[in-house]
Amino acid sequence: MSIDAREFYRQGPMHRREGASSFALIRRQFDFRSIEIGRWVTRSERDRAAELFHDALCDLMLILHGNEALISLRGSLALQYGSGGRPGVSAHYDPSQRSFSLAKNAGPGSIAHEWFHAFDHYIAQKCFNNVSASTFASVAWLANAAPLNHPLNQRLLACVHAILLHPDGQQPSALFNDSAAMDKAHGQLYYSKPEELCARAFEAFVQDASIKNHFLVKGTKASPEAARGLYPQGEQRERINARFSDYFASLGKALSKEGPL
């Protein structure tokens, strides 16, 4: 079923008049570096996707207490819809291109996950000393890179700590252990990678917000992955959500004063 024929549950404020959106408008509002639409995307699919993207990005902006510059990462992030992805992958962030690709019919619900990959990549060099341009902040933290001393960085690293470690700070978290068990069962290294753990934890944080948007995020509570412990649960989920809430509220205040991002 094509995206223009599907409905996605949403509960949140109105950001636009009905049908009043386009990818050109999205690019102007958020200042994305570029937006590319695949050649096989029909006009009706493009127009419907623009409406869904617009609401999802505005909802994410409200959930994060941020502004348009946060969503586009100061205009450094590029979007691709129905173009630039990987075969068999519904959504993908490419750090070499700083681009986020969403498949035409298979990517809904993946925006929060892939946006956090982009953010994790963008913020690494602003959070740590002497890390490469390809590094993610979550990976740098696990590799004991030297953090830059700033209150926002301390809050961000508290998020990573809550995701990857037990509250005692000495043992891996339940989320890590369940993810590592899944990787072992499948003979791979994917779910337990720090950047993937943090992106899934961020998904859970976004889905738990009062604004609901299934085009933005879904599946962190009721899905086969959630049942296997691949998303934070119980007390750990509450602790992670509190850390993310503190970080993004503080970041939003800094951005409102044109602070660092």
Contact 61, 53 (CB under 8 A): no
Residue 128 DSSP label: B
Contact 195, 95 (CB under 8 A): no
Predicted local distance difference test score (pLDDT) of residue 88: 55
For residue range 9-59, what is the model confidence (pLDDT) as tens digits? 999 988 877 667 899 999 999 999 999 999 989 999 999 999 999 999 999
CA dist list (Å): 243 to 36, 99, 156: 34, 27, 8
* Burial classification of residue 128, based on how many CB atoms lie within 10 Å of its CB (0-12 exposed, 13-18 middle, 19 or more buried): buried
Predicted local distance difference test score (pLDDT) of residue 72: 98
- Among 115, 91, 118, smallest CA distance to 104 is for 91
Contact 101, 94 (CB under 8 A): yes
Please report which residue ranges of the chain form alpha helices under DSSP H: 23-30, 43-63, 68-71, 111-127, 137-142, 151-164, 174-186, 194-207, 224-227, 234-256
pLDDT at 259 over 60: no
Predicted local distance difference test score (pLDDT) of residue 213: 97
For residue range 110-165, what is the model confidence (pLDDT) as tens digits? 999 999 999 999 999 999 999 999 999 999 999 999 999 999 999 999 999 999 99
pLDDT at 85 over 60: no
CA dist list (Å): 196 to 21, 44, 175: 32, 33, 11
For residue 213, give both structure tokens: 């948007």
Contact 147, 161 (CB under 8 A): no
* Spans of all domains in the chain: 3-108, 117-256
pLDDT at 74 over 80: yes
pLDDT at 3 over 80: no
What is the SS3 assignment for 80? strand
CA angle 179-185-188, nearest 5°? 75
Find how far residue 82's CA is from the centre of its chain. 19
